[in-house]
Structure 1
Amino acid sequence: MEAAKAEILAFCESKSKNKSKFYFNDFTKLFPEEKSRAVKKILTALIQEEKLVFWSSGSTTMYGLAGAGKQAHSEGED
């Protein structure tokens, strides 16, 4: 679990120059051997640890690094 968390955070940080939010499917591609439910549990754990944030537009759900991106700045999260 800890290795998977580190891999997700490294993935987000490596892409942070271009993207601040990621779709759930972006993370399932990191773990093709895992079921989507297992990946969801890892993401949920990172959200509970406040390392990732959950963002929803109502129709789209995305994940991002806590305090990163335009949305975070406009909502005073930085």
Structure 2
Amino acid sequence: MEYEDAKKLIVEELTKKLKSKSKFYFNDLSKILDLKPREAKKIVNKLVEDGVLEYWSSGSTTMYGMPGTGKQAAAEHEDE
């Protein structure tokens, strides 16, 4: 799968699901891409580098989301 096709697919699918979820497990993204984990990881990491996705960790759980979405994004700007 080409990077641009994967990017478009991820953005479309996550945008559809934003009403119910803002953070997604790696396995969710891998299923959307329908790729083996190693190949999906390369694409997901590139999406994070390019700012299409953001990396979020609670310390024990790693998740991915679109920048500026979810409760965490709102809380980050409360001090301003």
TM-score by structure 1 length? 0.88
1:41-52 equivalences in 2 (<5 Å): 41-52=42-53
Q: State the 1:49 CA deviation.
A: 1.2
| Structure 2 alignment gaps of length 5 or more | none
Query: What is aligned with 2:22?
Result: 20
* Aligned Cα root-mean-square deviation (Å): 1.0
How many residues matched?
Answer: 75
Aligned-partner Cα distance in 2 for 1:38–1:5: 13
Aligned-partner Cα distance in 2 for 1:28–1:52: 14
Query: What is aligned with 2:10?
Result: 8
TM-score by structure 2 length? 0.86
Correspondence 1:29 to 2:31: yes
Q: Which has the higher helix share?
A: 2
Q: State the 1:31 CA deviation.
A: 3.0
Q: State whether residues 10 and 33 of structure 2, in contact with CA within 8 Å, keep that contact through their aligned partners in structure 1.
A: no
C-alpha distance after superposition, 1:15-54 (max 9, x if no partner):
001100000111111233x220111111111111111110
Aligned-partner Cα distance in 1 for 2:63–2:4: 21
Aligned-partner Cα distance in 2 for 1:30–1:66: 19
Q: State the identity %.
A: 51
Query: What is aligned with 1:63?
Result: 64
Larger Rg: 2
Aligned-partner Cα distance in 2 for 1:45–1:26: 17
